[in-house]
Structure 1
Amino acid sequence: MSNLKKFLLTVTVGIVALILEFGFHQARVAFWLIAIVGGIMTISMLIGMVQTLRSGKYGVDILAITAIVATLLVGEYWASLMVLVMLTGGDSLEDYASHQAGRELQSLLNNSPQIAHRIDGEEVTELKVDEVQVGDTILVKPGELVPVDGRVIAGESFVDESSLTGESKPIEKQINDELMSGSINGDAALRFKVTKSAKDSQYQTLVKLVQESEAKPAHFVRLADRYAVPFTLIAYIIGGIAWFVSKDPVRFAEVLVVASPCPLILAAPVALVAGMSRSSRNGIVVKTGTTIEKLVRAKSIAFDKTGTLTEGKLSVEEIKVVSENISREDLVIYAASGEQESSHILARSLIAYAKAEKLSLLPVANLEEVTGQGIQAIVEDKEIRVGKAAFAGSNTELSSEKTAVYVSIAGQYVGYITFTDIVREESAETIKELNQLGITKTIMLTGDHQSIAKQIAEEVGISEVHAECLPEEKINVIKTLSDGDRPGIMVGDGVNDAPALAVADVGIAMGAHGSTAASESADAVILKDDLSRVSEAVRLSQDTMRIARQSVLIGIVICVILMLIASTGVIPALLGAALQEVIDTVSILSALRARKDR
């Protein structure tokens, strides 16, 4: 039976009992009605308490059970009913508060794309999102949700990505720009080529993350039971002394009635759900409450370099032409045109450079990605090859420390283009903020060369560098952190980071352009392409846990004060039961402060 149904049943029984006693003067019938319902509820709670004890934990249900039994035994059956109303009402209120606190997360599920318009020649057919294939051409009409991830091939429009990244400003999309599923198209139609199937697209991945975050229990909810043992002992001691001094067993019942366990039961989970909701509004999906706890206590953090500390796109550094038959501009146009349907980081960087230089790209046909070598395609009836030196026909190759692509046109090697990392503007400030938040050890893990890695580490303020790392070596660095450096955080974005993200105490994936594997392996996902959200995640977690603890302690303090007052006999059992709802409300309102950005 749901908490709401239990609450409605208890209220209905109370109304019937009121009519019986005060309408028909059947006090004994009213007593037995309340006693039977109270007994059933108490047995149900007792079974739950035994299951909790068997799992090796101690809960606070024993206080509520004792209060109900004690008030029935001393004849205060209306107080017993009030305790039941408060407990079932409190549980219902917790469900409501959790739902309200998590509504930003739920909005992802509510807006999930369902259909797509596929273009076959001149015909447009409607099909389910799950039936869309990579390579299909899809039409997204004005005001519609983008069904799957892709790249624009026709049209220009402004797109709302706020549900994905938290960025309220619409983003202009032109030819070759990436589209994320779940974003909302503006006032012009777009055609795009599908780059990921529905199950791997951005929006569906986020939906999966939301479902995980709701399914996995938050560890701190159980930590609230740490307070249960001393709190229960205090209640029994105060009640026992009041009974002993007054020689009146009713006094014991009156103390237990106001010893509400609800602050322990409600405050922590409501605060954590509220904090997770607040994080989602700031572009951070946190999967579990355990992640929030670990972020609070974190002592070290490791970063992947490319796509994390750097922008995930490289800037063109040098364009070298070795043929007299082609200009630097033509070299870029042919290379970028050939790469325009590739999702590789160098392709994105080259196309971005061509756009910035206002160069018009040429139509591409027969694009083929040759694994480990590069791409070949037909541009203006000429075969274009862009990739490694030997693949493009070059006899010489630059130093391995240089990132470069070599270009051939119609079988003739014509030149190369080199790239350099663009360090994120926010990287250095993020490292500084993390240090201020208590994370003193910072590490860079990269497959790049030592000299490049060291230069970037010095620029952003990272203290320890592990260069030329394979995925297995990244895992070893994470695994061998000392106890004093734990919990440790790993931040990455690529498929090769997924194993390290999974073994870290807290894995944080840069999800805006990162791989699905990285997002699924991580404990938290940054939705916006902004590294400062990492330090923001730590700050929000610290704020959330502070509010959770405050809310628990506020409820306990109020309970103890009321118990002391009740021990004098000033608070009747019925009034004490009513005061429980005040304590519950104060605790929940305090916990919901975690939703608000300050």
Structure 2
Amino acid sequence: MVSVETTSTTEEAAARSARPTLWQLIRDYPWLALTLFGLILTLALLVFGASDAAFWIGSGFALVVAAWTAVGMVKTLMGGSLGIDILAVTAIVAAVFVGEYLAALVVCLMLTGGEALEDYAAGRAKRELTALVDRAPVLAHVIAPDGSIQDVPVEDVPTGATVLVRPAEIIPLDGVLLGGTDFEVDIDESTVTGEPLPVAKTAGDKVLSGTVAGPQSFQLQVSATAEDSHYSHILNLVRQAQESQAPMVRLADRYAVPFTLVAYIIGGSAWALSGDPVRFAQVLVVATPCPLLIAAPVAFMAGMSRAANNGIIVKAAGILEKLSRIKVVGFDKTGTLTHGTPEVVRVAPANSFTEDQLLAAAASAEQYSSHVLAESLVQAAQQRGLTLSTASHAEEIATNGVLAQIGQHQVVVGKPAFVAEHVGNFDREEFSAGQAAVYVGVAGVYAGAIVLADQLRENASATVQRLHQDGVTSVMMLTGDVRPTAEAIAAEAGIDLVHAELLPEDKVKLISAASKDEPAMMIGDGINDAPVLASSSVGVAMAARGATAASESADVVIIKDDISAVGAALEIGQDTTRVALESIWLGIAISIGLMIVAAFGVIPVIAGALLQEVVDLVAILNALRALKPRKR
């Protein structure tokens, strides 16, 4: 209880220290502070009856802000981007010209406060992204050779060092769990792999950085430096995402010129028809550019944050816009549609052997093998509580199997022809496409076969259906596996188009061809998938197990072992782009409506300036809807 209260107090103190002071706000937003000072001073002069002084000081402040904005606008134009601050500058000058200096100051407040408002809204929108970075471990408790414990910056901890991890701490570095044969700890991997329940780890198991220790303390032997750790790789992706700005400028530029022209046409027509220049000012003060400048960036940042909360790192904001247009999706098979780790599906003993005897003999021999099926056999035996025997001699025969001397008996495990050489001929086991059989002989007698299969992920079929529901017209499989196995998995997942027995370059050609007609997304997990992920419209890497090469080539990285995140990524892209456009059009529609009303002289200049702030707020709040999950 004491430790919990101490932690809470520490977090509250950190939160208070993170809150900006008045001086920090002034330093970060000097023009906003200057405008507020000018507005307060002008109002104070009016209260004390110094109306002439209020006029000159208020007008002067407003024109200085307009001049400063105009200089920035020119720089923006010279940089090749279209600025729409010209509307605000014209509104300020027009308001001062007709004597509405208070309205001019309110417009200045919108203009100078835009950056602060955007920072606040963007901070709210990218909360999940920021949380991933903020929770990164800084120190590791390194155990020195003399047994003392030193807090060392994680970047200075070498591989091979022994680190103490205390209860409920974030594990600072990748490593291997140390302890006795019966030692076991629970690890919360939800932030890295998406697994909601604690995972039991025993001595010798790999532990990933960024995961959270359970109620026990334990020691860890560091296997990777901070730079090469799993969580560091995720953080690099997050920082890259935070720095992305691409579609925000593009969306603003797309509507800036038409909106500006409409505002000038309405304002100019109102002035010309009425003969009153005040009408021009009344129109322009409600012609707010804020939805174009802020709403789209906030929506895209909110979408990236929502993706991060779902275990999806989108490397650049522009990728969300691409995701919204995806019509073709390609899946790799092994490790993507399937778990990537073969599982024992059937144990078929022969010649009086029991299932447990057969599996124990096979696992005892295979524990000395590096073959992909060996670990699956060992795990299956351990799950049954079987005791593995130690071999006095074991030899792995490349492409054939394992020959081991266990006690008084020779155990042979592998392909049927290899096993038959030692036990004589036997009937081969029948199994379905997508499965593989391992044959076992003990002391010159055929003991039976064990059938394994790389199982389809439980929600793969639902993910394919979800993609079709969200507008994807074609889902295909691109795999290097043999066609019978590929077709069996594809049929189970509901995929109609199968391209099997492909080399990496074949995958690139197929996805490139598909991308020419419609935007195509490719999902993979291995090093061999890196080329095709890079060549697709949007490449998605399944990286819960740390597929670095695929992650670096991909546009989207899924850091939890859940294929349904592919469908979530597509929906987040669609929702974000829709909300961004809705926010822009909502702001434009309200502004144009107010401009038309203002053109008839109904809205006073100061009231129009205040209404403009309301429009800005509505557009930004609407943009934050990109944070919310879709209602299905």
Superposition TM-score tier, normalisation by shorter sequence: 0.7 to 0.9
C-alpha distance after superposition, 1:199-238 (max 9, x if no partner)? 2322111111110001121414421332222211221111
1:423 aligns with 2:423: no
Q: Which residue pairs with 1:574 in the alignment?
A: 606
1:357 aligns with 2:384: yes
Change (3 A) 1:135 1:498: farther
Change (3 A) 1:386 1:554: farther
Q: How does 1:167-246 map to 2 (within 5 A)?
A: 167-175=195-203, 177-246=205-274
Q: 2:287 aligns with which of 259, 276, 279?
A: 259
Name the amino acid aligned to 1:517: A
Change (3 A) 1:14 1:276: same
Name the amino acid aligned to 1:285: I
Q: Which residue pairs with 1:14 in the alignment?
A: 39
Q: Which runs of 5+ in 2 are unaligned?
A: 1-25
Name the amino acid aligned to 2:244: K
Q: Which residue pairs with 2:17 in the alignment?
A: none
Change (3 A) 1:323 1:257: same
Change (3 A) 1:298 1:122: same
Q: Is the 8 A contact 2:401 2:418 kept in 1?
A: yes
Change (3 A) 1:23 1:465: same
C-alpha distance after superposition, 1:309-341 (max 9, x if no partner)? 0012111356799999995244344246446xx
Change (3 A) 1:401 1:431: closer
How far apart in 1 are the matches of 2:554 and 2:80?
Answer: 29
1:148 aligns with 2:173: yes
How far apart in 1 are the matches of 2:172 and 2:33?
Answer: 42
Change (3 A) 1:25 1:376: farther
Q: Which residue pairs with 1:440 in the alignment?
A: 473
1:487 aligns with 2:519: yes
Instruction: Say how many residue pairs are matched.
Output: 591
Task: Give the drift of 1:414.
Answer: 11
How far apart in 2 are the matches of 1:374 and 1:146?
Answer: 38
Q: Identify which range, 323-332 or 491-500, moves more after superposition.
A: 323-332
Q: Is the 8 A contact 1:180 1:202 kept in 2?
A: yes
1:105 aligns with 2:129: yes
Task: Give the drift of 1:555.
Answer: 1.1
C-alpha distance after superposition, 1:478-529 (max 9, x if no partner)? 2222532x31111111111122212211111112124122222221122221
Q: 2:154 aligns with which of 129, 138, 156?
A: 129
How far apart in 1 are the matches of 2:142 and 2:351?
Answer: 43
Q: Is the 8 A contact 2:141 2:149 kept in 1?
A: yes
Name the amino acid aligned to 1:187: P
Q: Is the 8 A contact 2:579 2:622 kept in 1?
A: yes
How far apart in 2 are the matches of 1:350 and 1:320?
Answer: 14
Name the amino acid aligned to 2:133: L
How far apart in 2 are the matches of 1:87 and 1:210?
Answer: 30
1:4 aligns with 2:37: no
Task: Give the drift of 1:308.
Answer: 0.6
C-alpha distance after superposition, 1:149-188 (max 9, x if no partner)? 3344533233223333455543333445542211111111
Q: Identify which range, 65-74 or 297-306, moves more after superposition.
A: 65-74
Task: Give the drift of 1:63.
Answer: 0.9
Q: Is the 8 A contact 1:161 1:170 kept in 2?
A: yes
How far apart in 2 are the matches of 1:378 and 1:73?
Answer: 99
Q: Is the 8 A contact 1:117 1:124 kept in 2?
A: no
Q: Is the 8 A contact 2:248 2:297 kept in 1?
A: yes
Q: Identify which range, 99-108 or 314-323, moves more after superposition.
A: 314-323
Q: Is the 8 A contact 1:427 1:532 kept in 2?
A: yes
Name the amino acid aligned to 1:298: I
Q: Is the 8 A contact 1:102 1:274 kept in 2?
A: yes
Q: Identify which range, 368-377 or 467-476, moves more after superposition.
A: 368-377
How far apart in 2 are the matches of 1:393 and 1:114?
Answer: 57
Q: Is the 8 A contact 1:338 1:386 kept in 2?
A: no
Task: Give the drift of 1:92.
Answer: 1.1
Q: Is the 8 A contact 2:363 2:377 kept in 1?
A: no
C-alpha distance after superposition, 1:360-390 (max 9, x if no partner)? 467999x99999999999999x999999999
How far apart in 1 are the matches of 2:192 and 2:166?
Answer: 19
Q: Identify which range, 552-561 or 115-124, moves more after superposition.
A: 115-124
Q: Which residue pairs with 2:310 in the alignment?
A: 282
How far apart in 2 are the matches of 1:135 and 1:504?
Answer: 39
How far apart in 1 are the matches of 2:71 and 2:398?
Answer: 60
Q: Which runs of 5+ in 1 are unaligned?
A: none
Runs of 4+ displaced beyond 6 Å: 318-326, 362-365, 367-380, 382-396, 398-402, 404-409, 413-417
Q: Is the 8 A contact 1:301 1:443 kept in 2?
A: yes
TM-score (norm 1): 0.86
Change (3 A) 1:131 1:332: farther
Name the amino acid aligned to 1:476: K
**RMSD in angstroms over aligned alpha carbons?**
4.1
Task: Give the drift of 1:543.
Answer: 1.9
Task: Give the drift of 1:287.
Answer: 2.0
Q: 1:506 aligns with which of 525, 538, 541?
A: 538
Task: Give the drift of 1:587.
Answer: 0.8
Task: Give the drift of 1:476.
Answer: 2.0
How far apart in 1 are the matches of 2:390 and 2:112?
Answer: 67
Name the amino acid aligned to 1:9: L
Name the amino acid aligned to 2:558: I
1:77 aligns with 2:92: no
Q: Which residue pairs with 2:565 in the alignment?
A: 533
How far apart in 2 are the matches of 1:140 and 1:455?
Answer: 45
Q: 1:334 aligns with which of 354, 361, 364?
A: 364
Q: How does 1:552-571 map to 2 (within 5 A)?
A: 552-571=584-603
Q: 2:507 aligns with which of 474, 477, 481?
A: 474
Name the amino acid aligned to 2:235: V
C-alpha distance after superposition, 1:40-76 (max 9, x if no partner)? 4333332333344345443322211211121222222
How far apart in 2 are the matches of 1:476 and 1:288?
Answer: 25
Secondary structure of 1:198's match?
coil
C-alpha distance after superposition, 1:226-268 (max 9, x if no partner)? 2222211221111111101211111101110110111111211
Secondary structure of 1:508's match?
strand
Q: Which residue pairs with 1:585 in the alignment?
A: 617
Change (3 A) 1:194 1:568: same
Q: Is the 8 A contact 1:337 1:362 kept in 2?
A: no
Q: Is the 8 A contact 1:86 1:578 kept in 2?
A: no
Q: Is the 8 A contact 1:149 1:180 kept in 2?
A: yes
Change (3 A) 1:394 1:43: farther
Q: Which residue pairs with 2:299 in the alignment?
A: 271
Change (3 A) 1:376 1:500: farther
Change (3 A) 1:588 1:371: farther
How far apart in 1 are the matches of 2:377 and 2:454?
Answer: 13
Q: Which residue pairs with 1:595 in the alignment?
A: 627
How far apart in 2 are the matches of 1:255 and 1:378?
Answer: 92
